[in-house]
Amino acid sequence: MSKSQKKPIVKPATRERGEARYFHGRVKILDDFKELLGRAKKGNSGTSILIQAAPGAGKTALLHECARIARAQRWQTARIKLRDLWHTNTLLQSLGREKETRHKEVTRGGNLDISGGIGDVGNVAISGGRSSTSTSAERTTLEVLKDKKRSLLLVLDEAQKLALTQPEHTEMISDFLDAIHNGYIGRPVILIAAGLGATAAAFDSLGISRFDPGCHINLGPLKPKAERKVIKDWLKLEGRAKGDPAPWIDAIVSETHGWPQHIMAYA
């Protein structure tokens, strides 16, 4: 391909989800979170935090900020997926513990062909020998959390999907959430979950309904002062705007109404 035929460099579109490039506001929420980290470590316990909001309120950005604060206080942080609540193998991966595998007891002799993942009872076929079924004890996801001592923050986004839980997983998920929520893990473990409007109902259906003060958060738009700071950072730091940005900020504020996703769209 000649130089004249080279494809133009296309910059990626501005992200409307994820970590906020310029984060302001949510001061009370973050102060409460810092206090909770201290109480959990001191009491060697934990709980769960629910953040519920409409699309575009900045749930994911807030999760990133909480994780950053936890890491600064020497907490391990792990972003988990819904499947991790019942599937041991994927939870180990999310925790950075992929090398831990279950112990399999099989009949001696022959070559092993194992179907089934961690958390399942695998069928073991042995060529040159007789077939059998693995009977070794399997760790549950709850047991995985209990076998370490370091303080741990679990981050679950799109938590409204708990409402789609399959019946065969409901009991294990309920046990998992209940143990964290009530501090039964034996070490400081906090789950911070964010989702849309149906998230609280999903938790309630799994037996989690009473949250500690400050741990059930209905996230709304940014307050005006924080909104203006975010817009100013975009204009001055990202856009290299010169002079007084107030007229531009006034114009953008009249359209964004405090919603981070709208601010990102204008950015």
* Residues 110-126: tens digit of each pLDDT: 443 333 333 333 333 33
Q: What pLDDT sits at residue 133?
A: 33
Phi-psi map region of 183: left, alpha, beta (phi>0 left; psi -120 to 50 alpha): left
Q: What pLDDT sits at residue 266?
A: 85
pLDDT (tens digit per residue) in 151-197: 999 999 999 999 998 999 999 999 999 999 999 999 999 999 999 99
Rounded to the nearest 5 percent, the helix, strand and coil shares of the chain are 40, 15, 45
DSSP annotation of 236 reads I
Q: What pLDDT sits at residue 101?
A: 60
Q: Which two tokens stand for residue 7?
A: 């494809």
Q: Which of these ranges, 48-57, 88-97, 114-123, 245-254, has the smallest mean pLDDT?
A: 114-123
Q: Which two tokens stand for residue 150?
A: 């370091």
Give me the mean pLDDT over the 53-71 stretch: 96
In whole angstroms, what is the distance from residue 107 CA to residue 156 CA? 40
The highest-level CATH class for domain 27-97+141-219 is alpha beta
Nearest to 145 by CA among 228, 54, 80, 210: 80
Give me the mean pLDDT over the 117-142 stretch: 45
CA dihedral 168, 170, 175, 181 (to 10 degrees): 160
Q: In 10 A of CB 241, how many CB atoms?
A: 13
pLDDT (tens digit per residue) in 210-226: 999 999 999 999 999 99
Residue with tokens 């020998």: 129
pTM: 0.80
pLDDT (tens digit per residue) in 22-60: 999 999 999 999 999 999 999 999 999 999 999 999 999
Q: What pLDDT sits at residue 114?
A: 32
Averaged pLDDT of the chain = 84
Q: Which two tokens stand for residue 120?
A: 């399942």
What residue spans define the domains of the chain?
A: 27-97+141-219, 103-138, 223-266
Q: What pLDDT sits at residue 134?
A: 31
The residue with greater pLDDT, 13 or 78, is: 78
- Whether 136 shows a pLDDT value over 60: the answer reads no
